[in-house]
Amino acid sequence: MRMVLKGNGAVAHGVRLARAQVISAYPITPQTSIIEGLADMVSEGKLDAKFIKVESEHSALAGCISASSAGARVFTATSAQGLALMHELIHWAAGARLPIVLANVNRAMAPGWSIWTDQNDSLSQRDTGWMQVYCESSQEVVDSVIQAYKVSEKVLLPTMVILDAFFLSHTYEDVEVPEQSMVDGFLPPLDLPQKMDLERPAALGNLVFPDRYMEFRRKMDLAHDLALGVWEEVGREWGGLTGRSYGLVEEYRLEGAELVFVTAATAASTARVVIDAMREEGIPAGLLRLRVFRPFPAELLRGVLAGRKKVVVLDRNCSFGHHGIFHQEIKSALYGLPDAQRPPMYGFIAGLGGRDIRPDDIDGMLRGVWEGRITDPVSWWDVLEAKDPARAAVVMA
């Protein structure tokens, strides 16, 4: 059924259709309307779930971990400082191999306080063992929440479904909300192979000595490798049912593209407009949209980017002291290519703290690189630069 939904509403409908059984959550802007929507669905009897109100994000995820350990399908949502407060248990959820789905609405980290979007909150959880999916539209949000349960439950890893604050979370648009019967066929009830069971008592989360710890970590890494194929397979199956296929990445007008723009989330949506206009002009530009960031589709990216003339990466994030994070990761993926096949890369850090990324910005980056006016490997875009950087670096004003 087609409906007008905002991104946060799309998350709630995805969770409803996945028949989550336990929701344990704590409010934080700009996520709050996700769990408000779910609370309404539970109170109106549209979703048969236990809704646990807790006193912090740390407890929210603790509730999910407990319920998931008992074999329930669970959900939580958060943003920024809330995700950071969960951090200890973010590791726990992945290490315990629980198929939890969490929606993170990308919000810039404080200080300075910001409620607006950037990716440093979710990317600071990169090395925890969670899978991460970055969404471009509310349609992709509802579809990805449902897919995330299927993938998570196959590979026993938790998934973060990630959407931009406001540009997606609070933007209403028309969305095809799948039918419950179709989703039921796609996503059977959860039957975890190992769970708390009164008939088969067991201890969970025990001390693991050095002779075994590494084996558990190796299994997590293998599960990520396995998940690459599972995301593709599940994205194809979804396409067969709905006409909307998804992959690890999305290629847009890449046939014959010599200049490739790489980014994730809503900036990729806006970039399509720019790519179309440049193609119209005869500039051979294309877009590679990152969707699944963990597991990282390094081999796929290497194949798609090999032999291109120039690659431009837009990061709405920064690893301070180094590059944008997507830029770093893609660069490392291209390391194995022979010199002649390895394209030069140009990274842009833009849109932090919710600064708008307009078509003109993307056009400026792409044209600057294509025409050879921008040659720096990393640039901060649309930022007020100080006359004296050494002084500016240590003066808080």
| Residue numbers at the binding site for another protein (CB under 8 A) | 2, 4, 6, 115-116, 165-168, 170-174, 266-267, 269-270, 272-273, 354, 356-359
Backbone angles phi, psi at 70, to 5 degrees: -85, 0
Note the helical H segments in the chain: 7-17, 32-43, 57-69, 80-95, 120-123, 138-155, 180-186, 210-242, 266-281, 298-305, 325-333, 359-370, 389-392
Task: In angstroms, give the least distance from the CB of 270 to another protein.
Answer: 5
How far apart, in whole angstroms, are the C-alpha atoms of residue 275 and residue 283?
A: 9
Q: What is the helix (H) or strand (E) element at residue 174, kind and residue range?
A: strand 172-176
Task: In angstroms, give the least distance from the CB of 295 to another protein.
Answer: 26
Task: In angstroms, give the least distance from the CB of 300 to another protein.
Answer: 24
Check if the beta carbon of residue 291 is closer than 8 Å to that of residue 235: no
The closest alpha carbon to 21, from 151, 163, 190, belongs to 190
How far apart, in whole angstroms, are the C-alpha atoms of residue 12 and residue 5?
A: 10
SS3 48: coil
SS3 281: helix
Task: In angstroms, give the least distance from the CB of 11 to another protein.
Answer: 16
C-beta closer to another protein: residue 152 or 169: 169
Check if the beta carbon of residue 24 is closer than 8 Å to that of residue 52: yes
The closest alpha carbon to 71, from 231, 200, 212, 227, belongs to 200
C-beta closer to another protein: residue 93 or 274: 274
Task: In angstroms, give the least distance from the CB of 139 to another protein.
Answer: 9
Task: In angstroms, give the least distance from the CB of 6 to another protein.
Answer: 8
C-beta closer to another protein: residue 158 or 286: 286
- Taking every pair of Cα atoms in the chain, the longest distance, rounded to a whole number of angstroms, is 70
- What DSSP character marks residue 187? S
Give every CB contact of residue 265 below 8 A, 6+ residues apart in sequence. 106, 119, 134, 135, 136, 162, 163, 164, 167, 168, 316
C-beta closer to another protein: residue 131 or 163: 163
C-beta closer to another protein: residue 115 or 298: 115
C-beta closer to another protein: residue 120 or 139: 139
The closest alpha carbon to 189, from 99, 129, 103, belongs to 99
Task: In angstroms, give the least distance from the CB of 170 to another protein.
Answer: 6
C-beta closer to another protein: residue 19 or 170: 170
C-beta closer to another protein: residue 204 or 273: 273
The residue type of 51 is F
C-beta closer to another protein: residue 132 or 266: 266
How far apart, in whole angstroms, are the C-alpha atoms of residue 174 and residue 256?
A: 32
Task: In angstroms, give the least distance from the CB of 117 to another protein.
Answer: 9
C-beta closer to another protein: residue 50 or 272: 272
